[in-house]
């Protein structure tokens, strides 16, 4: 494949800003950022300030920071790090500048992100992936890592099996981003979804933090039931997960601070704010019906959330 020169990060928030800063700091690529509001204006004025687990106040000057796709070079590689509810609109806007050699790496929550993108722009290479990092916008222009190693797990586009990942790996190596290349990345993506969707739905339903959920037997059981429904859907799709994947998700939750709220839960606390409920509950219910999987727990929980 051709050498990667122009990289775009679509959605330079907590996750996108973290990886954008790391790549900019390598000083080997032209990195353009798509952001908005006060965060964008701060980046345009002072650069992106990145605080990582190793070092604070890293000043990262992007090639371009803008809120318009028309103002950035056509990217060789684009990281998509927007929220799920913005994905379709962003994908349609990007489609005007992408060619058959363009590579997209979506790092969103969800198990059908690959399908959603390919449905709109089938000619590009989309590398299915997921990420493990906890980072947020501390204030406009400042992105701070609070947990996770920043590990990206990714793999081949199932419809582009001839794809050579050498240049992608070089980007990660240059930017010192830990990564794991998988010929089949979907088990990793579904494993993360078991954890994040189960706790997102139960936290939104109960109004409880992760620590409080773990303390209550009934809420624990809801997490386990939703996770088990997701595992059954994965099996129907031919994606085999570890037998104890749901138990491991619950064990993983114990590593989070007691008062941790999920992003879906926080979004619902602001009336009228867009949220990722459809990406979690909507997707599980839709796939369950399509594949003949009983998803009654998810349906009950998500319906209750929607009807409030």
Q: 191: domain CATH number?
A: 1.10.1040.10
Tokens of 257: 């601070």
Residues 146 and 239 in one domain: no
The C-alpha torsion from 232 through 238 and 242 to 247, rounded to 10°, is -20
What integer pLDDT is reported at residue 228 of this predicted model? 98
Domain range holding 55? 6-183
**pLDDT of 77-88, one tens digit each?**
999 999 999 999
CA distance 260 to 191: 20
pLDDT above 70 for 21: yes
Domain boundary among 183, 201, 219: 183
**Taking the model in full, what pTM does it have?**
0.92
pLDDT above 70 for 25: yes
232-245 average pLDDT score: 96
242 CB contacts (<8 Å, ≥6 apart)? 191, 248
**pLDDT of 83-137, one tens digit each?**
999 999 999 999 888 888 999 999 999 999 999 999 999 999 999 999 999 899 9
Residues 160 and 201 in one domain: no
Half-sphere exposure of 76 (CA within 13 A, CB side): 13
Half-sphere exposure of 308 (CA within 13 A, CB side): 13
pLDDT above 80 for 76: yes
Tokens of 270: 């602001």
Residues 231 and 165 in one domain: no
| 297-306 own/partner pairs: CB under 8 Å, 24+ apart | 297/222, 297/225, 297/226, 297/229, 298/201, 298/226, 298/229, 301/201, 301/202, 301/205, 301/222, 301/226, 302/201, 302/277, 304/205, 305/201, 305/204, 305/205, 305/268, 305/277, 305/281, 306/277, 306/281
The total of other beta-carbon atoms located within 10 Å of residue 104's CB is: 25
The total of other beta-carbon atoms located within 10 Å of residue 55's CB is: 9
Provide the percentage of residues in the chain whose pLDDT is more than 90: 90
Q: Measured on CA atoms in the order 284, 251, 275, 51, is the torsion positive or negative?
A: negative
Q: Confirm if 276 and 200 have CB atoms less than 8 A apart.
A: yes
**pLDDT of 154-212, one tens digit each?**
999 999 989 999 999 999 999 999 999 999 999 999 999 999 999 999 999 999 999 99
In a domain, 1, yes or no: no
Residues 197 and 86 in one domain: no
In a domain, 14, yes or no: yes
Residues 46 and 176 in one domain: yes
Residues 176 and 276 in one domain: no
- Which residues make beta-bridge pairs with 152? 131, 179
Give me the number of domains the chain comprises. 2
């Amino acid at each position: 494949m051709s050498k990667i020169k122009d990289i775009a990060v679509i959605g330079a928030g907590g996750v996108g800003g973290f990886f954008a800063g790391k790549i900019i700091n390598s000083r080997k690529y032209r990195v353009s950022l798509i952001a908005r509001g006060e965060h964008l204006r701060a980046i345009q004025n002072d650069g992106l300030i990145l605080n990582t687990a190793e070092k604070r106040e890293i000043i990262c000057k992007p090639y371009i920071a803008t809120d318009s796709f028309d103002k950035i070079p056509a990217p060789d590689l684009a990281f998509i790090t927007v929220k799920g509810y913005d994905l379709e609109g962003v994908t349609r806007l990007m489609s005007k500048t992408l060619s058959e050699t363009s590579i997209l790496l979506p790092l969103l929550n969800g198990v059908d992100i690959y399908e959603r993108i390919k449905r709109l722009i089938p000619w590009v290479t989309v590398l299915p992936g997921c990420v493990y990092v906890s980072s947020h916008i501390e204030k406009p222009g400042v992105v701070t890592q609070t947990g996770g190693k920043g590990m990206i797990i990714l793999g081949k586009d199932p419809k582009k099996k001839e794809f050579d990942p050498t240049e992608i790996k070089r980007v990660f190596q240059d930017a010192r981003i830990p990564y794991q290349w998988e010929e089949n990345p979907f088990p990793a993506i579904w494993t993360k979804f078991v954890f994040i969707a189960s706790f997102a739905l139960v936290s939104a339903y109960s109004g409880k933090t992760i620590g409080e959920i773990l303390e209550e037997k009934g809420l624990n059981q809801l997490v386990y039931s939703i996770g088990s429904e997701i595992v059954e859907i994965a099996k129907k799709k031919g994606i085999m997960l570890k037998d104890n994947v749901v138990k491991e998700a619950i064990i993983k939750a114990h590593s989070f601070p007691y008062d941790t709220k999920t992003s879906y839960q926080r979004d619902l606390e602001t009336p009228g704010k867009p949220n990722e409920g459809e990406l979690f509950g909507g997707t599980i219910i839709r796939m369950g019906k399509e594949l003949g999987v009983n998803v009654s727990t998810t349906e009950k929980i998500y319906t209750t959330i929607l009807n409030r």
